[in-house]
Amino acid sequence: MSENNLSIKRNFAVTYNKVADDLWSAYAELNDEQHNIMTRLDISIPNLTIRDASIIFNKKPMEQCQEISEKAKCLIGVSIIHDLTTTLNELFVGADGCPNIRSLFGISGPGFIYVYYPQLIKEGKYTHQEWWKMAATELKDECIAHKRLSEKYSK
């Protein structure tokens, strides 16, 4: 393959596990030539706050990468709906951060909402109408679709 046709993969995977009625775990993993990193968020139900968080480096390009691990505990108590994005940016962006860890927590935490509520709907514990209302109110600042839904509901 010529240098102009070079293709390099970085694989991200997220898994959500229901641990108990009041606890789910969100695992995110990055695998590429230099990294094998896993993050874990334990998410309290029903308030959707982080109960515990950790970072595991199975493979890293530099020994200093491990230093970021202690910052995971700063996520304890953070709401995945209201505060997570801002907190992740404060902790993991810039010279004292790590963009890979920011990415892993950033896909697993906010992504939980899109697993948890559909699961409640499947179990008959939540309705589609309740989900849309929540998306239009609580999640209106999270994406363009929710923003548009919010605009529709406010008319």
pLDDT in tens, 48-84: 999 999 999 998 888 888 899 999 999 999 999 999 9
Contacts 24+ apart (CB under 8 A), 76-79: 76/50, 76/51, 76/52, 77/49, 77/50, 78/49, 78/50, 79/47, 79/48, 79/49
The model's pTM: 0.88
Longest dimension (CA), the chain: 56
Give residue 145's domain range. Answer: 125-155
Query: β-strand 49-59 against 11-20: which pairing, if any?
Result: unpaired
Do 101 and 51 belong to one domain?
Answer: yes
DSSP state of 106: H
Mark whether 105 and 146 lie in a shared domain: no
Do residues 99 and 140 both lie within one domain?
no
Separation CA 83–CA 49 (nearest Å): 9
The reply to whether 30 and 64 lie within a common domain is: yes
Judgement on whether residues 69 and 134 belong to the same structural domain of the protein = no
